[in-house]
Amino acid sequence: MVAAGGYRIGMIFPPVHGVAPESAPDPMSVAFAQARAAAARGEVPVGAVLLGPDGTIIARAGNRTEELRDPSAHAEMLVMRAATQARDGARLSDCTLYVTLEPCPMCAAAAVHFRVGRILFGAYDPKGGGVEHGPRLFARRDCLHRPETIGGLREREAAAMLRGFFRDRRDG
């Protein structure tokens, strides 16, 4: 499948120069690894990865809301904060955010302020999402910055991970 801008879904955005695409790490796989690590810590299994303009990973994180006792410590927030510190600047317009779940309204609003260039996410979140569901922040006329968004990457896998986590929590 070809996404806006001519990129194939699953390839690194933009291509890593000098590295064959098949040998470069798949950012969504890295995000899933972060989500699994979060689940192992008792966190909601959401993982995120932020790629720089050359396709290298600048930051990766899983949710840490319980560990840090901080309701804003979502994976997306953590990688955006880490990336701006690593890059010595608050603008991420040349970066791509991969996340296993549709960003919530808080994370979507933060992506606007950080000026994230692209957001690719796994499972849609009809109850808590802020991109394709809920307030649909990027579709608002008064939105200051609209990142390119692509949803549904490995959607079934992401949704199954979340369902399993909440089922185990409920039944356990």
Do the annotations mark residue 17 as ligand-binding?
A: no
Q: Is the pLDDT of residue 34 over 50?
A: yes
Domain ranges of the chain: 26-171
User: Average pLDDT, whole number, for the chain?
Assistant: 88
CA separation for the pair 16, 11 (Å, rounded) = 10
Do the annotations mark residue 74 as ligand-binding?
A: yes
Q: Which amino acid is at 110?
A: A
Q: Where in the sequence numbering do the catalytic residues fall? A: 76
Query: pTM for this one?
Result: 0.85
Buried b (16+ CB within 10 A) or exposed e, 66-101: eeeeeeebbbbbbbbbebbeebeeeebeebbbbbbb
Do the annotations mark residue 95 as ligand-binding?
A: no
What phi and psi, each to the nearest 5 degrees, are found at residue 110? -65, -40
Segment 107-121, tens digit of pLDDT: 999 999 999 999 999
Among 3.90.1150.10, 3.40.140.10, 3.40.30.10, 3.30.1370.30, what is the CATH number of 26-171?
A: 3.40.140.10
Q: Is 23 exposed, middle or buried (0-12, 13-18, 19+ CB in 10 A)?
A: exposed
CA separation for the pair 167, 82 (Å, rounded) = 32
For 142, the token pair is 């008064």
Please check whether residue 139 is in contact with residue 84, taking contact to mean a CB–CB distance below 8 angstroms. no
Please check whether residue 86 is in contact with residue 56, taking contact to mean a CB–CB distance below 8 angstroms. no
Segment 61-90, tens digit of pLDDT: 999 999 999 999 999 999 999 999 999 887
pLDDT at 89: 82
